[in-house]
Amino acid sequence: MTRAKIAALESGQAEFAALTGEARRALEERRPLLVLMTGLSGSGKTWLARSIAPDIDAVHLRSDVERKRLAGLDELASSQSATGSELYSDDVTDRVYQHLAKCAEQALAGGHSVIVDATFLRRSQRALFSSLAVRRGVSLKVIVCEAPLDTLRERIRRRHTAASDASEANLSVLEWQRPITSRSTRQNTFTSSGCPLPHRIQWTTHCGP
């Protein structure tokens, strides 16, 4: 029994190293980077961003946190907003992405790499940061986090029940996101090879509008 537990722990550590190692290798550069961590709710964006940020000395900007900060809320406070409205309306979401871009530009100007952690469901949201990368003369990397639908649902249920995370996404939000994502085709996307995990990482060197 003890040996079985040790083997399970070692297996989990190996999977963690494989996942974060692939992402780090994709992001290795000497000059500042602008990294977009994209994907549906529950796909692992924040987990991966937190794992990578210290290794590339990056500022981690998370949309869930900044959205509440702009509204004057603590990151764990409930906004009581309905799906796609109030704090999550199109107008507010546009302001959040503009705010993220402003913060990212300030950090890049100071010589820091930046990871922007958000769903980036719409082309216009990605185009905003593509323009920023061109303006600042830095490389733009896009990491697309994906997981099976059942896994997304289970993570969201667990996180929503725990109420210990800035994200307010529930299963209704996930279903709302899915058709928007399917209509937003990403260009020049390459899938990482040799990753044994059901959670897959993809990345691009440029995000087209």
For domain 21-204, give the CATH superfamily: P-loop containing nucleotide triphosphate hydrolases (3.40.50.300)
Q: Work out whether strand 113-117 and strand 58-62 pair parallel, antiparallel, or are unpaired.
A: parallel
For residue 5, pLDDT over 60 is answered with no
Higher per-residue confidence, 49 vs 189: 49
At 191 the pLDDT is 34
Q: Tell me the pLDDT tens digit for each residue of 184-196.
A: 544 333 333 333 3
Digit-coded pLDDT (tens) for 7-39: 544 556 666 666 666 666 655 556 899 999 999
To the question of pTM greater than 0.95 for the whole model, the response is: no
Judged against a pLDDT cut of 50, whether residue 136 lies above it is answered with yes
Mean pLDDT lowest among 66-70, 82-86, 96-100: 82-86
Strand order in the sheet with 190-191: 58-62, 113-117, 33-38, 139-146, 200-204, 190-191
Mean pLDDT of 118-130: 94
* Number of CB atoms found within 10 A of residue 150's CB: 9
Higher-scoring residue by pLDDT: 110, 4? 110
pLDDT of residue 18: 65
pLDDT at 81: 85
CA dist., res. 109 & res. 9, Å (int): 41
Max mean pLDDT range (8-22, 71-85, 127-141, 156-170): 127-141
Quote the longest CA-to-CA distance of the chain. Answer: 57
What's the rounded Cα separation, in Å, for the pair 209 and 129? 10
